[in-house]
């Protein structure tokens, strides 16, 4: 700690600034604050108790990062953010208010309110990293953990996002889809015996959802929300024209068509692919 932090409260601020606004009792002692000093600062609302041995500094309205850091600090040595909470930290899942998930070494048995604590025999340093200064399981380990606690559709979303951001996934396979609608289209292809297309392929400056390369056919699957409005209308036409110039026909399919008219979609694709092969 720099010598410029000469007063106890300056030292407290230094710790809190590096930990998303939270501090532990042990760190307060390092700032030369004893139990009476802690009690005084709680009374004047400079410290707000979050967990046993963990406080927020200045106010109790913490960011998600502050809540995650506080939970990890509260669980002691070797604790890391994990499961849904680690997935949210890495933006594999949307951030949500709720129970914070923390994994600790198997031999430890901490208990904290509003923290789901998972004990692990297999958590090694190779599976741990830090993001925004918060110790957490790496994305591939996080996904393995999610498979034991979350529904398949949640796990698929996390895998898609991890693949999209380019996180190493080790032995986790991915179909490269970025949405549930894209996954539904791949399932339609398998169900009706269509060739499996390439997924999320770049053609020039465009990233197309699916590509049947030999047939010269690109497929985009979209909901209304993504393509409403005048500018979206113009962009879609320009995109289609540029792909056509490069030798690819663009077929757009809606959620309703994929969900409620899969046989019609499959028949159109079979016809188009057969004509290209002939």
Is 173 within the bounds of a domain? Answer: no
* Residues 237, 163: Cα–Cα separation, whole Å: 29
Neighbours of 30 (CB within 10 A): 15
Q: Residues 70, 32: one domain?
A: no
Contact 56, 50 (CB under 8 A): yes
Domain around 271: 180-277
Q: Residues 79, 145: one domain?
A: yes
Is 1 within the bounds of a domain? Answer: no
Q: Residues 159, 196: one domain?
A: no
DSSP letter, residue 82 = -
Q: What is the CATH number of the domain that holds 266?
A: 3.40.960.10
pLDDT in the model for residue 227: 46
pLDDT in the model for residue 3: 57
Residue that finishes a domain, picked among 113, 136, 165: 165
Is 3 within the bounds of a domain? Answer: no
Residue that finishes a domain, picked among 132, 165, 198: 165
Q: Residues 161, 210: one domain?
A: no
What are phi and psi for residue 249, nearest 5 degrees?
-80, 140
pTM of the model as a whole = 0.70
pLDDT in the model for residue 226: 47
Q: Residues 201, 267: one domain?
A: yes
Q: Residues 52, 69: one domain?
A: no
Q: Residues 253, 188: one domain?
A: yes
> Residues 219-231: pLDDT tens digits?
999 754 444 544 4
Q: Residues 208, 189: one domain?
A: yes
Is 196 within the bounds of a domain? Answer: yes
- Alpha-carbon distance values, 245 to 126, 208, 242, 253 (Å): 48, 15, 5, 21
Is 170 within the bounds of a domain? Answer: no
* Residues 192, 210: Cα–Cα separation, whole Å: 16
β-sheet with 100-105: strand ranges across: 115-120, 100-105, 80-81, 134-137, 128-131
> Residues 183-233: pLDDT tens digits?
899 999 999 999 999 998 899 888 899 999 999 999 999 754 444 544 455
Is 171 within the bounds of a domain? Answer: no
Is 175 within the bounds of a domain? Answer: no
* Residue spans of the chain under pLDDT 70: 1-5, 173, 223-237
Number of domains in the chain: 3
Q: Residues 123, 214: one domain?
A: no
Q: Residues 102, 78: one domain?
A: yes
Is 250 within the bounds of a domain? Answer: yes
Q: Residues 69, 149: one domain?
A: yes
């Amino acid at each position: 700690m720099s010598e410029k932090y000469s007063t106890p409260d300056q030292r407290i601020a230094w710790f809190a600034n590096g930990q998303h606004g939270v501090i532990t009792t042990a760190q307060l002692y390092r700032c030369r604050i004893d139990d009476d000093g802690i009690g005084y600062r709680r009374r004047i609302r400079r410290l707000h108790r979050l967990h046993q041995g963990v406080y927020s500094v200045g106010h109790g309205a913490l960011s998600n990062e502050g809540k995650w850091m506080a939970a990890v600090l509260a669980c002691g040595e070797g604790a890391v953010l994990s499961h849904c909470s680690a997935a949210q930290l890495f933006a594999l899942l949307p951030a949500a208010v709720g129970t914070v998930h923390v994994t600790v070494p198997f031999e430890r048995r901490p208990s904290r309110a509003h923290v789901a604590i998972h004990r692990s025999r297999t958590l090694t340093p190779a599976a741990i990293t830090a993001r925004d200064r918060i110790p957490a399981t790496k994305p591939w380990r996080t996904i393995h953990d999610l498979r034991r606690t979350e529904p398949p559709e949640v796990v698929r979303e996390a895998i898609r996002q991890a693949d999209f951001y380019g996180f190493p996934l080790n032995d986790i396979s991915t179909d490269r889809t970025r949405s549930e609608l894209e996954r539904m289209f791949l399932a339609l292809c398998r169900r009706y015996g269509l060739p499996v297309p390439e997924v999320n392929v770049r053609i020039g400056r465009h990233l197309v959802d699916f590509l049947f390369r030999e047939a010269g056919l690109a497929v985009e699957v979209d909901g209304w929300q993504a393509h409403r409005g005048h500018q979206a209308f113009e962009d879609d036409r320009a995109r289609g024209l540029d792909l056509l110039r490069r030798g690819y026909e663009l077929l757009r399919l809606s959620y309703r068509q994929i969900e409620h008219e899969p046989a019609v979609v499959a028949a159109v694709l079979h016809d188009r692919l057969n004509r290209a092969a002939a």
